Amino acid sequence: MDRTGRLASLIAHHADPIGHLVGILSFTLPRFRDGCFLYVTDRGLARLILSRRGYSAITFGHVVVAARTLPETIWRHELRHVTQYETVGCAFLPLYLLLYRRHGYRAHPLERDASSPTRIFDG
Ligand SMILES: [Zn+2]
């Protein structure tokens, strides 16, 4: 892969740089899994936004930051968020935040979709 190809794989979605920034500020390097970058760490920013708030992982585009090694069910949940990002595009983060404000986390339609066998989006 040439330099342009490597950069393109690092930034395949507009939200990817946010995920890489969170990962880097969590003091670890990513590994590549199922077409995504995965940072596993319970330090730095990951500790603040995940562990201390009771969450195990967060996804930005094709980048997943996890506070610990994820069970397969949670990994599949995060991969659904990746599909949601690909489907919704640049509107994903504003849409997610709007729905979070209205529904909270547990009743959030995109969270329910990520955890349900019935999908809003195919993929
Ligand atoms: Zn989720």
What is the phi-psi region of residue 111: left when phi exceeds 0, alpha when psi lies from -120 to 50, beta otherwise?
alpha
Q: What pLDDT score was predicted for residue 119?
A: 66
Would 100 be classed as within a structural domain? yes
Q: How many domains does the chain have?
A: 1
Would 29 be classed as within a structural domain? yes
pLDDT digits (tens, 9 = 90+) for 68-113: 999 999 999 999 999 999 999 999 999 999 999 999 999 999 999 9
| pTM above threshold 0.85 | yes
Residue pair 81/113 in contact by the 8 Å Cβ criterion: no
Q: Which domain holds residue 7?
A: 3-115
User: Ligand 1 centroid to 94 CA: how many Å?
Assistant: 15
Would 123 be classed as within a structural domain? no
Would 37 be classed as within a structural domain? yes
User: Ligand 1 centroid to 59 CA: how many Å?
Assistant: 8
Mapping DSSP to helix (H, G, I), strand (E, B) and coil, where does residue 39 land? Answer: strand
Would 79 be classed as within a structural domain? yes
Would 26 be classed as within a structural domain? yes
Would 122 be classed as within a structural domain? no
User: Ligand 1 centroid to 6 CA: how many Å?
Assistant: 27
User: Ligand 1 centroid to 78 CA: how many Å?
Assistant: 6
Would 46 be classed as within a structural domain? yes
Evaluate if residue 2 carries a pLDDT over 90.
Answer: no
Evaluate if residue 57 carries a pLDDT over 60.
Answer: yes
pLDDT: which is higher, 113 or 120: 113
